[in-house]
Amino acid sequence: MSASRSPVRQSSVRAHNLALVLQTVANSADRPSRAAVSAATGLTRATVSALVDDLIAGTLLTELDPAPRTGAGRPAAGLALAPDGPAGLGLEINVDYLAACVVDLTGAVRHRFVTRADQRLLPPCDSLAEVIRLAARAQQAATADGLVLAGAALAVPGLVAPGGLVRVAPNLGWQDVDAVTPLTAATGLPVTVDNEANLAALGELRADGAEPTFLYVSGEIGIGAGIVLDGELYRGGRGWSGEIGHVTVYPDGRPCRCGANGCLEQYAGQEAVAADPDLAAAALGIALSAVVNLLDLGVIVLGGGYAPEFERLRGGIEAELRRRVLTADLAPVSLRAAALGADAAMRGAADAVIRGVREDPAGWLATAQAV
């Protein structure tokens, strides 16, 4: 079942190994030689050489000066991700700002545009028109740098259906908004739309020293979560996972706008945190304990509005985790503030595009050659 339901031919072998080599270079701290990649992957030096040639021809890798020498022998040629390779366009529509950025293959933010403006009173088409303007500026800046964009991704604070339709974005006042069509038309790029917390979690995954399995919690007006399992975003059966804001904390507690009582959002939303940080921490601790009991996650990252309040919340959350997580004494749960700030979702969106290229370089090489 786990095995993909499709046949494998020789070309799939090459596709897989291209990805393997690219990822190995990407995850290396230094600039590995072909021989080092060969040792790390288990592929022959000859094979690695052939694969690297393809990747260099497709501007996914570049050769650099060798890493500092060690002993005898012919000096190595250092490999690294190409800064002039395919880049990603990250977009975000949020309650009080719009943003766009260009991130290159190495993960460096090359351009960044932000417009602060309350989107709650605007119709969706106005917000979209403005984000399209930002996207156009970003595209110009990218082409001025000689960068080719591989695609665009848009982060939205709401429930997004698999096709990219925004079903509900309560804090924007959106309902069943199709953002994919206008953005594709305007940018000429393949466009995906995703939940803000999901993309922020992906952004966090790429930050330095990030663990492969963690829960990212974003505390804004609403509360969202991105579940990352083994380096992979878990989207749920229908793409609507991570709605931690409506996990019940106090069954007969405060009424929530969703119709239920005692949702986390009522005790740990932005207003609630400002009003009573201790109450917020306790409520968060109860909800997060449920997550850890269910999913056995060892790391929880607090982002969005929680990041600046992290030190004030930490103690209260950890107390509840110690009390309520069954395996707390077998395996500790660590809590940390998000490494990326407010840009997390936008960065994550751009990273998602880059990720696509990194995970399927063969596909990119094919499309790049076709043009």
Partner DNA sequence: TCAAATAATTCAACCAATAAACAAATCCCA
Partner DNA sequence: TGGGATTTGTTTATTGGTTGAATTATTTGA
Q: Which is nearer to its own copies, 214 or 306 (CB)?
A: 214
* Count of residues near its own copies by CB under 8 A: 72
Shortest distance, position 223 Cβ to its own copies, whole Å: 11
Q: Rule CB under 7 A: say whether 61 interacts with DNA.
A: no
Tell me how far apart the alpha carbons of residues 247 and 91 are, in angstroms, rounded to a whole number: 29
Contact window for its own copies (CB under 8 A) among 37-45, 71-79, 108-116, 341-349: 37-45
The strand pairing partners of 193, in sequence order, are 154
Angle, CA of 130, 135 and 138, to the nearest 5°: 135
Q: Which is nearer to DNA, 43 or 291 (CB)?
A: 43
Tell me how far apart the alpha carbons of residues 121 and 110 are, in angstroms, rounded to a whole number: 32
Shortest distance, position 255 Cβ to its own copies, whole Å: 11
Do 160 and 167 touch, CB atoms closer than 8 A?
Answer: yes
Q: Rule CB under 7 A: say whether 73 interacts with DNA.
A: yes
Q: Rule CB under 8 A: say whether 70 interacts with its own copies.
A: no
| Binds its own copies by CB under 8 A, chosen from 35, 250, 312, 339 | 250
Q: Rule CB under 8 A: say whether 159 interacts with its own copies.
A: yes
Q: Residue 106 burial by CB count (10 A; 0-12/13-18/19+): exposed, middle or buried?
A: middle
Q: Rule CB under 8 A: say whether 291 interacts with its own copies.
A: yes
Closest CA to 335 of 355, 310, 354, 357: 310
Q: Rule CB under 8 A: say whether 369 interacts with its own copies.
A: no
Q: Rule CB under 7 A: say whether 42 interacts with DNA.
A: yes
Shortest distance, position 104 Cβ to DNA, whole Å: 24
Fill in the DSSP letter of residue 306. T
Per-residue x/- marks for its own copies, 324-343, CB under 8 A?
xxxx--xx------------
Helix 10-27 / helix 45-57 crossing angle, nearest 10 deg:
80
Q: Rule CB under 7 A: say whether 264 interacts with DNA.
A: no
**Residue 183: its H or E element:** helix 180-187
Closest CA to 351 of 163, 244, 234, 202: 202
Chosen from its own copies, DNA, none, partner binding at 33 (C-beta under 5 to 8 Å by type): DNA
Binding site for DNA (CB under 7 A): 7-11, 13-14, 17, 33-36, 42-47, 49-53, 69, 71-77
